[in-house]
Amino acid sequence: MKLNEISPAAGAVKKRKRIGCGPGSGHGKTSCKGHKGQNCRSGGGVPPWFEGGQMPLQRRLPKRGFHNIFKVASQVVNVGSLSAFEKGTKINRGVLVEAGLVRKASLPVKILGQGELKVALDVEVDSVSSSAAKAIIDAGGSISLVSGKKVPELDKEEQK
């Protein structure tokens, strides 16, 4: 086998439609575009959503809802699921991804307070609810937020 002998499988390649090559070709005269009208003209034709001048569907339907462009979608982990880790473990996004508690290391992680925590852990995440912060601190652990903000539970204690 040589490079010049290679060819595609039979039926895999169609012949090009040669339009405007006389009446004998079957594609002559109007070049497969029919007689007159918008579609035979240069640059003619209508977009796929055009409905013949009828009021288009996207204009007939009312606008609904609101999409907040500033919303940051956080991955949620409950305090109860952190009990699986050993005492003194440093918990961050990477550790949570390896444990299968969150899917992406690129998205922020928020710890919520559902469940019970009996193990002291060092937690470093993007945000923590006040109930989760209380549970972690009561278990003897510590919390640090990646963003540098104050932890909600610690903030309340400072006010007292």
pLDDT digits (tens, 9 = 90+) for 99-144: 999 999 999 999 999 999 989 999 999 999 999 999 999 999 999 9
| Pick from 82, 153, 80, 88: nearest CA to 120 | 88
50-80 per-position pLDDT tens digit: 999 999 999 999 999 999 999 988 999 999 9
Does the pLDDT value for residue 149 go beyond 80? Answer: no
Domains of the chain: 75-155 (3.100.10.10)
27 within 8 A of 40, measured Cβ to Cβ? no
> Which positions ≥6 away from 89 have C-beta within 8 Å?
95, 119, 121, 122
Residue 64 CA, distance from chain mean position:
21
User: What is the spatial distance between Cα 160 and Cα 75, in angstroms, rounded to a whole number?
Assistant: 31
User: What residues pair up with 77 in beta bridges, in sequence order?
Assistant: 111
The per-residue pLDDT for 153 is 61
8 within 8 A of 1, measured Cβ to Cβ? no
Residue 150 — pLDDT band, cuts 50, 70, 90? Answer: confident
The per-residue pLDDT for 156 is 59
In Å, what is the CA distance from 28 to each residue of 35, 42, 102? 12, 17, 63
